[in-house]
A and B are shown apart, each in its own frame.
Chain A
Amino acid sequence: AQRVTQPEKLLSVFKGAPVELKCNYSYSGSPELFWYVQYSRQRLQLLLRHISRESIKGFTADLNKGETSFHLKKPFAQEEDSAMYYCALMDTGRRALTFGSGTRLQVQP
């Protein structure tokens, strides 16, 4: 069965510090991985997907198949990055997502 693990419930950093939100997965096939973000009083929305290899709002995530990880990184955190972050793995059959339990990022001034 596929699984996504986010080991940290809360990550608190100061503004300007680097951020790394950890995500590990288990999946027997070729994974499609995503990071979704939920800002306060907003709906869950896509932040980035590994296929696109893009950088959104300064965030990047690299798929490491050897370590089965898809960690989210940003070199300099901003206060507006404070939110709940979910790593998600797509079931290629159903096209439905399996989510991790989420990490709350708090960026302090």
Chain B
Amino acid sequence: NAGVTQTPKFQVLKTGQSMTLQCAQDMNHNSMYWYRQDPGMGLRLIYYSASEGTTDKGEVPNGYNVSRLNKREFSLRLESAAPSQTSVYFCASSDRGGSYEQYFGPGTRLTVT
């Protein structure tokens, strides 16, 4: 039981390049989330998916797109990377019943030069 997995762990992009961050969970959770973590700012919600087939914007969605491919997978795409998107990206999942505890992946450290 791996919990929440993210790939890649590290990535360096040039301004204007695109990439997709992958996230998968094996806990049969309905809800999945993408956060970014910047120094001194805590984690901020980019997008979330309450259930398979639905996605909604969070606090900082500009410059990102997401796909909830199936119940397990939730990807985050940067179409044209900018230096302001240099950050650590965390994926999380939770069950909509019960405690709503969120389970986090290990993070992807992205640098845009």
**How many residues of A are counted as interface, with CB atoms below 8 angstroms from the partner's CB atoms?**
22
Interface centre among B42, B43, B48, B101 (most CB of A within 10 A): B42
* B residues less than 8 Å from A97 (CB atoms): 33, 43, 45, 102
Contacts A43-B105, A44-B104, A49-B99 given; does A96 touch B42 at CB 8 Å: no
B98-113 toward A: CB 8 Å interface, digit per residue (1/0)? 0111111111000000
Closest to B101 in A: A46
Expressed in whole angstroms, the minimum distance between the Cβ of B108 and any Cβ of chain A is 12
Asked if A90 and B100 sit within 8 Å, CB to CB, the answer is yes
Asked if A9 and B40 sit within 8 Å, CB to CB, the answer is yes
**How many residues of B are counted as interface, with CB atoms below 8 angstroms from the partner's CB atoms?**
27
How far apart sit A92 and B79, CA to CA, in the bound complex (Å)?
31
Asked if B90 and A44 sit within 8 Å, CB to CB, the answer is yes
Expressed in whole angstroms, the minimum distance between the Cβ of B99 and any Cβ of chain A is 7
Contacts A43-B105, A44-B104, A45-B104 given; does A99 touch B50 at CB 8 Å: no
B74-113 toward A: CB 8 Å interface, digit per residue (1/0)? 0000000000000000100010100111111111000000
Closest to A52 in B: B99
* B residues less than 8 Å from A9 (CB atoms): 40
Closest to A1 in B: B59
Asked if B44 and A95 sit within 8 Å, CB to CB, the answer is no
How far apart sit A100 and B43, CA to CA, in the bound complex (Å)?
8
A90-109 toward B: CB 8 Å interface, digit per residue (1/0)? 10001111111110000000
Contacts A/B (CB < 8 Å), 5 sampled: A44-B43, A94-B56, A95-B50, A99-B42, A101-B42
Interface residues of A (CB under 8 A from B): 4, 6, 9, 32, 43-46, 49, 51-52, 86, 90, 94-102
> Which 6 pairs of residues, A with B, have the shortest CB-CB distance?
A99-B42, A44-B104, A99-B43, A101-B42, A43-B104, A96-B45
Give me 9 other A-B pairs in contact (C-beta within 8 A), A94-B58, A96-B45, A101-B42 excluded: A44-B104, A45-B104, A46-B102, A90-B100, A94-B50, A95-B31, A96-B48, A97-B33, A100-B42
